[in-house]
Amino acid sequence: SSHDESTPPVDAADGSGPTPPSVTPAPGRPGARPPQFDEPTTPTDAPLTSPDQAAAEPRTPTGAVPSADDATTAQQGERLTTSQGARLRDTDHSLRAGARGPVLLQDHHLREKITHFDHERIPERVVHARGAAAHGVFESFGTAASVTCADFLAPGRRTEVFTRFSTVVGSRGSMDTARDTRGFATKFYTDEGTFDLVGNNIPVFFIQDAIKFPDVIHAAKPHPDREIPQAQSAHDTFWDFVSLHTEAQHHTIWFMADRGIPRSFRMMEGFGIHTFRLTNADGETSLVKFHWKPLLGVHSLTWEEAQMIGGTDPDFHRRDLADAIEAGAYPQWELGLQVLPDDPEQMFDGIDLLDPTKIIPEELVPVQRVGRLTLDHNPRNYFAETEQVAFHPGNLVPGIDVTDDPLLQGRLFSYLDTQITRLGGPNFAQLPINRAHAPVNDMLRDGYGQQADHAGVAPYRPNSLDGGCPFTAGADEHAFEDLPVRVAESVRERRNPESFSDHFTQPRMFWASMTDVEKAHIVSAYAFELGRCYETTIRERQLACLAQIDPELCRGVAEALGLPAPKSPDLPDVTPSPALSQVGGTWPVAGRTVGIVVDPEAPDADLAALHEAVVAVSMTPLVIAPVGGTVGGVPVGRTFATGRSVELDAVLLAGAPAPGADAVPALDVKAGAPGAPGTDPRLTLLLEECWRHAKPIGAWGAGRDAATTAGLTEGMPGVHLGEDAFSVLEAVAEQLAQHRVWERFEAPSFSAG
């Protein structure tokens, strides 16, 4: 039968079914259509109109709501349609031969809906699969004009940018806080074409030649048999490779150090790694290294925090970036250049500038600031923007060129190539996020996913039919010039230069530049990673590498592994580079999260004012109470069940909730476990963790008693017991400026021996 009269659709518009939930359609766009792209050069359409968001629920702990002009609705019109624009009466029931009968093949809407869904996923990036991104602006200081004619670096220029941060090894759904290198890729949509700076948060790379990239990645990715472990380097194949392929040792010590577990994307440096060649308006060239310097400083998690966050909030970095931007705490970096003369040797102080496993210490060649990056709005759609953005180190603009670094040369091939699989054809540059903001006039035609409806008959040159166009640029028309760089007279060969062969002096310099607490973290990181390997020979081989870096480092790791420390050869003296250490300075506390533990039974009178005071210094207050709701008019951000210390940068005790009825069973704490009687064991745990992770702790009033009961007394490092909330907040914020209470870490045992 074709139609069963007795079973009308349950939400039929004639009112016979239940009332559909009321939704607010987007105003003013009846019959709205997806943006039409006449030419691949049209900049992205203006955002679609959105409903007023003023009444939306707060989405962040700060209570910030999306701005009213931010299009946040999925709806592009008032009535649901097919992809062809035909209005639909029903999208909830397939067309059947009777309500209980089989589904009909003729149900074109069912087939369209399911077919599209079946193809919603694209391959994740072969590396850097997991990432988060934001839009922003780059403002040039104009200070680079003497070294480059790149227009976006001229005085007063503002350029739109899109920056994507990533981990390297994990899959798209892996955790943010894995110990790994972080990608830091920025697309500058300049008036002279798109420039991509595709860097990392570590200034050196694993390998010196791109032909080794499949090897290092195969070694670092999960084992091919069981596909474990996910997003980790703590496994045999990784350490097998880096211990055999010792040019990887410099990069490896960087991510065994705290750089491998950043506190936030906002608190990472970025590096272009390779040496690039800049040209100024007079045609003079220089060699440069690019640096991003975060205004919030460079800060890391502790390893225990990173592991715990991996469980409680695998999206920690992604959330942190989006929340900060939404709350108006826009992350900022300054772009800096180390400028070196472009002489034929391309060497500096014995360092081959074409070797991407070496740095130039900042103390020898200062980083000169040339502009500021501000990330000020979140992507509207993760897939369209963050997933589909396609970076390429070959996206260069006049004034910036590559060098013969063999790693960079190979990258110039790989990035274009990979997008063809990942984005399904050669037209990915037409995706809105990838479109140049400069006018495009190419002769690339057809192919999968072609969006443009090109006019004319002559996409070739020379032609006489389409006006004889396009013309190429004249000498003074800001074209990208291939510099007449001299290529060494040589024979073709597969070989590294001798100047690439020192693999241990710079890791030794890195080690020597660390403070004791940073050294201790490095030793424990190696001990953890090698301790997770199964093969003793691999551990021994890596210890032999460490012996070539530093005997203390080697001894510390060997002790933890219960293996003999191989003897170090005679090692060169190195001059430490203080710029490599993360400890010792003070930085702005903007965007830090301050937990405020409250007792709902005896709310602190000043809670609302305290909350405001935290926001006033651009920090994020997170009120923590045994159960949800509001306390003293302030919303509870986390309960003892949903919160964990690792989300916080500092904790304030405004009160001390007594154990609730559910406290003990929820935690499964045995009676008689350590912790003060009368204090909720979850609070005890929170304080213990904050102590162990060297976070400032403040308390006043009733909170002070709780602190004392927990064994925290005035005079202990980073413990601030005061008379009132505001003086305690001030003391805590001042301490937080150093990132952690460094004194709390134990003296590392290896330095004693």
Note the residues at the interface with ligand HDD (CB under 6 A): 125-128, 131, 164, 166, 183, 185, 198-200, 205, 210, 213, 273, 356, 389-391, 407, 410-411, 414-415, 418
What's the gap between Cα 733 and its chain centre? Answer: 25
- 200, 201, 427, 434: which one is catalytic? 200
CA dist., res. 261 & res. 184, Å (int) = 14
Give the nearer residue to ligand HDD in terms of CB position, either 194 or 645: 194
Smallest gap from residue 156 Cβ to ligand HDD (A): 29
Give the nearer residue to ligand HDD in terms of CB position, either 389 or 557: 389
Smallest gap from residue 19 Cβ to ligand HDD (A): 46
CA dist., res. 596 & res. 622, Å (int) = 6
Smallest gap from residue 121 Cβ to ligand HDD (A): 16
Smallest gap from residue 390 Cβ to ligand HDD (A): 6
Give the nearer residue to ligand HDD in terms of CB position, either 265 or 745: 265
Give the nearer residue to ligand HDD in terms of CB position, either 405 or 599: 405
CA dist., res. 452 & res. 2, Å (int) = 42
From the list 311, 345, 249, the residue with the least C-alpha distance to 545 is: 249
The DSSP element (H or E) to which 198 belongs, if any, is: strand 193-200
DSSP, res 383:
I
Give the nearer residue to ligand HDD in terms of CB position, either 410 or 660: 410
Smallest gap from residue 206 Cβ to ligand HDD (A): 8
Give the nearer residue to ligand HDD in terms of CB position, either 415 or 742: 415
> Is 623:598 a contact under the CB 8 Å cutoff?
yes
**What b/e string do you get for 35-65 counting C-beta neighbours within 10 Å, with b at 16 or more?**
eebeebbbeeeeebebbebeeeeebbbbebb
Give the nearer residue to ligand HDD in terms of CB position, either 213 or 265: 213
**Percent of the chain as helix, strand, coil, to the nearest 5:** 30, 15, 55
Smallest gap from residue 416 Cβ to ligand HDD (A): 8
HSE-CB at 709 with a 13 A cutoff on CA atoms is: 20
Residue 121 has a CB neighbour count (10 Å cut-off) of: 10
Helices (H), 430-573: 505-512, 516-531, 536-549, 551-561
Compute the radius of gyration of the chain from its Cα atoms.
29
The DSSP element (H or E) to which 691 belongs, if any, is: helix 681-692
Give the nearer residue to ligand HDD in terms of CB position, either 124 or 191: 124
User: By three-state DSSP, how is residue 593 classified?
Assistant: strand
DSSP, res 384:
I
> Is 212:219 a contact under the CB 8 Å cutoff?
no
CA distances from 32 to 27, 42, 89, 567 (A): 10, 19, 18, 73
Smallest gap from residue 486 Cβ to ligand HDD (A): 24
CA dist., res. 676 & res. 682, Å (int) = 11
Smallest gap from residue 373 Cβ to ligand HDD (A): 15
Angle 418-422-428 from CA coordinates, rounded to 5°: 85
Sequential DSSP letters for 281-316:
TTS-EEEEEEEEEETT---B--HHHHHHHHHH-TTH
Looking up tokens 């900042």 gives 362
Give the nearer residue to ligand HDD in terms of CB position, either 307 or 414: 414
What's the gap between Cα 468 and its chain centre? Answer: 47
- 3, 93, 108, 128: which one is catalytic? 128
Angle 566-218-225 from CA coordinates, rounded to 5°: 100
Active site residue 739: no
DSSP, res 103:
B
CA dist., res. 254 & res. 203, Å (int) = 9
Looking up tokens 């925090």 gives 305
Give the nearer residue to ligand HDD in terms of CB position, either 151 or 269: 269
Smallest gap from residue 395 Cβ to ligand HDD (A): 12
Give the nearer residue to ligand HDD in terms of CB position, either 205 or 750: 205
CA dist., res. 659 & res. 97, Å (int) = 60
Q: At what angle do helices 551-561 and 516-531 cross, to 10 degrees?
A: 40
Strand partners, 623: 596
The DSSP element (H or E) to which 663 belongs, if any, is: helix 663-667
Both tokens assigned to 649? 């940068």
CA dist., res. 412 & res. 403, Å (int) = 11
CA distances from 488 to 215, 491, 522 (A): 29, 9, 41
From the list 319, 339, 293, 278, the residue with the least C-alpha distance to 199 is: 293
Active site residue 496: no
Smallest gap from residue 700 Cβ to ligand HDD (A): 45
User: By three-state DSSP, how is residue 189 classified?
Assistant: strand
Give the nearer residue to ligand HDD in terms of CB position, either 273 or 523: 273
Nearest 10 degrees: Cα torsion 134, 139, 141, 142 = 120
From the list 426, 332, 370, 363, the residue with the least C-alpha distance to 134 is: 332
Smallest gap from residue 159 Cβ to ligand HDD (A): 18
Give the nearer residue to ligand HDD in terms of CB position, either 269 or 604: 269
What's the gap between Cα 270 and its chain centre? Answer: 11
What residues are labeled active site?
128, 200
